[in-house]
Structure 1
Amino acid sequence: MKKLIVILVIFLCISCEYFQSTNVGEPVARVGESYLYKSDIESLLSDAMSSQDSAIVVNNYIDRWAMQELFIQRAKLNLPQEKQDAFEELVEEYRNDLYIEAYKEALVKQSIDTVVTAFDEAKYYETNKENFKLNEELLKLRYINIAKDNSNIKEITERFKRFEAEDKTVLDSLAIQFNNYSLNDSIWVKQTQVFNKIPVITNENKEKYLKKSQFSQIEDSLGVYLVQIVDKIGRNDSAPLAYVRPTVRQIILNKRKLEFIRKLEKDITKDAIKQKQFETYK
């Protein structure tokens, strides 16, 4: 409940700032001692809008502004001063956090090295390899799904199994005949992805078809699947670096960011003391 109150207070204060009047020019609405001016709504309108659309936009804005002002004014009249003071402290704390975090982020973007080399990735991976255990098997494979009556099925099967440079080129040229396929067998994919792409392979028959270096030709009512398993890594084994590289890179960048912020927090106080901008009295 306390968390909900904090969120509501922040929302109200942000909304108040959004609808805050610039207090310039001709007023268009009033709630108590608060005025909304013509200059406050000019930015809402454009030359491309019809007079009818402009009127709708302006009226909706005025209604929202009035509702917001009424709520705030009623709240200030009816809420105990102690609670209002507590809300003001929360708002001030939130405002300060916004400024501080924005400033830190700007310094981080300006200062930290965002280049993560292959050496950086490999070093972190080897040191923390145990943290990258798999909860699902990974496979490298290629597959093709074609109609049973395809006139080129024999040639396609031979080239698919041999898979030399010329074979890859020919298979790419014949791809328009395939119902579904993937010939990129250099990337790791999750076992569940295999089940989704090749529905004839299931959790029940995976031990039959998902063996390392195995070729399978599987038929169903819709066609023929050619499947070649190139490599396999089991559940609870360490994920290969190639698979977790994006995660490793992000971890390295996050570590640099945290280290920079920790140093920044120490240095800003030291510098303030040195320049006599900060001192304590005992």
Structure 2
Amino acid sequence: MSQKNRIGSVIMSLTIFVFSACNSVNNSVNDEPLVKINESFLTKGKVYQAVPNSLSKEDSAIFAQDYINRWIRSELLLSKAELNLTPDEKDVEQMLEEYRRSLLIHQYQQKLLEQKYSPLITGSEIKKYYTDMVDNFKLAEPIIKGVFVIVPQSAPNINNLKDLYRSDEAEDIVKLEAYCFQNAKKYEVFLDHWLTFDEINKHLPEGINQTERFIRNNKYHHTTDSVNQYFLSIKEYKLGSEVAPLEFVESKIKAILLNKKRLEFIKQLEVDLYDEALKNKNITFF
């Protein structure tokens, strides 16, 4: 039997096992080997536990095959490492201990952040950071506010839609959303927030080139293909290299400020722990 056929047989066996398994599967079945490399075994139970329960039969087989292949490659590399590294190179106890220490410290810091520290970022803090760092918030690409609708060619009252998507009247916007809810394949009424032009452009049957020139010279765009009609209304725009509006970068600034405050909290925690240890004479200098 070829190597490919052997792997296929293993996958078939495992797939049958996964879909016949239940909580009552006994340990002897779980311990049955699927693959052996030198003295290492990959068992049915180990692969079964790795396969997510939400996958279909076909996807489970693909996942299991990938898992087995990755295990094989990992074991082969490990075997070569064991053979070719010197005893000193294979001594990873210190690295493991350093990793353990770092991991425990990180987990403790995260636990404290969750339990004792929920920093609030005010609107004035966000605005001040934006003003102070405004040169860092130049746009890399155009952004727009407006309306974008995709409807099938068979959609009713297309002429009515042609009027509604251009209108600035609040009543017409309500009518537009009601129409789109019933008939549109996709619609975005983004009058109160910015989108990059590329987020719209990628849905058009033929992407628009020279986007900045197009945006400057076109408030409305209507195009079709054999299946759909596409309507774009640009109400506001900012071009690449312009300063991004505060509302467009607000979430980014908030994340920056949150991270900054968390780092400050952790730094202060280290100082407090040090001072407390000195006070309680838990630190001895020789």
Is structure 2 residue 268 aligned with structure 1 residue 280? no
Residue 131 of structure 2: aligned partner: 126
Report the Cα distance in structure 2 between the residues aligned to 1:91 and 1:112, rounded to whole angstroms: 30
Cα distance, 1:50–1:106 mapped onto 2, change above 3 Å: closer
- Work out whether residues 212 and 232 of structure 1, in 8 Å CA contact, stay in contact via their aligned partners in 2: no
CA deviations on 1:171-206 (whole Å, 9 max, x unpaired) are: 223223334432232221112112112334511466
CA contact (8 A) 1:213 1:230 kept: no
The aligned residue for residue 8 of structure 1 is none
Q: Quick check: 2:205–2:224 contact (8 Å CA) kept in 1?
A: no
Cross-structure match for 2:24: 49
2:143–2:197 Cα contact (<8 Å) kept: yes
Match for residue 141 of structure 2 among 132, 136, 141: 136
Alignment correspondent of 2:202: 196
Whether the aligned pair in 2 keeps the contact of 1:213 and 1:231 (CA below 8 Å) is no
Deviation at 1:104, TM superposition (A): 1.8
Q: Which residue is equivalent to 2:231?
A: 226
Cα displacement string for residues 238-272 of structure 1 (whole angstroms, at most 9, x for unaligned residues): 22222222211111111011111112222222221
Alpha-carbon distance, 1:220 to partner: 4.8
- Structure 2 matches for 1:93-108, cutoff 5 A? 93-108=98-113
Counterpart of 1:91 in structure 2 is 96
Deviations 1:103-155 (A, max 9, x none): 22222222323322322222222222221221111111212334567552332
Question: TM-score under structure 1 normalisation?
Answer: 0.67
Q: How does 1:162-173 map to 2 (within 5 A)?
A: 162-173=167-178
Does 256-265 or 141-150 show the bigger shift?
A: 141-150
Gaps of 5+ in 1: 1-45
Percent identity over the alignment? Answer: 24
User: For 2:117 and 2:192, how far apart are their aligned partners in 1?
Assistant: 33
Q: Is the 8 A contact 1:134 1:238 kept in 2?
A: yes
Q: Aligned-pair RMSD on alpha carbons?
A: 3.4
1:212-256 per-residue CA deviation (whole Å, 9 max, x = no partner) reads 782334455555433211111111122222222221111111101
Q: Given residue 23 of structure 2, which amino acid in structure 1 is its aligned partner?
A: A
- Worse-superposed segment, 193-202 or 134-143: 193-202
Is 2:155 aligned against 1:182? no
- Structure 2 distance, partners of 1:212, 1:113, is 47
Point out the structure with max Rg over C-alpha. 1
- Counterpart amino acid of 2:283? F
Give the stretch that moved more between structures: 190-199 or 106-115.
106-115
Matches within 5 A, 1:151-170: 152-170=157-175
Which structure 2 residues correspond to residues 14-25 of structure 1 after superposition, within 5 A?
A: none
